[in-house]
Amino acid sequence: MSKPHDIAGLIAWAKRDEWRGILAEFIDRHSAKVCEAAGIDVEEIADVLGEDAATVVWGAAFEDLVATDLPGNRNLADDYLRRRGWKEGVSVREYIAGLRRATISVYEVSGLVPGESMLLRDLVRGGEPVRVSEKLGSQGLRQWDRIATRVIPMSEGAVISGTLMLFDHDTSEALLASLRKTRTQAPRDVAAIAQEFGIKTDSKTLADMMTPDLLLAGAAFMVTNFWLDAGIKAARGQNRPELLNSEGDPLDFITLHFPLLPKVKPEQVRQALAAVPAFRQEDPGFWNWLDEPGTKPQPVPRRGKAQTFFSTMEDGSLVLGTLALKGRRLSLEVNSTARAARGRALLEPVLAELVGSPLTERTDLEQMLETKRPPPKPSGLSPEEERALIHQSLEDHYRHILDQPIPSLGGKSPRAAAKTPKGREKVVAWLKTLENHSAKRPTGDPIGEYDFGWMWRELGVEARRH
Q: In this predicted structure, what is the pLDDT of residue 427?
A: 94
Q: In this predicted structure, what is the pLDDT of residue 217?
A: 86
Structural contact between residues 63 and 148, judged by C-beta atoms closer than 8 angstroms: no
How far apart are alpha carbons 294 and 277 in whole angstroms? 13
75-84 contacts at long range (C-beta below 8 A, 24 or more positions apart)? 75/100, 76/10, 76/13, 76/14, 76/19, 76/22, 77/10, 79/13, 79/19, 80/9, 80/10, 80/13, 84/9, 84/13
pTM for the model stands at 0.76
Distances (CA, A) of 167 to 31, 181, 183, 318: 16, 19, 21, 34
Q: In this predicted structure, what is the pLDDT of residue 229?
A: 95
How far apart are alpha carbons 231 and 253 in whole angstroms? 29
Q: 165 - beta bridge partners?
A: 148
Q: In this predicted structure, what is the pLDDT of residue 447?
A: 87
Q: In this predicted structure, what is the pLDDT of residue 410?
A: 84
Q: In this predicted structure, what is the pLDDT of residue 317?
A: 78
Q: In this predicted structure, what is the pLDDT of residue 196?
A: 52
Q: Residue ranges of the chain with pLDDT lower than 50? A: 1-3, 190-191, 193-194, 206, 303
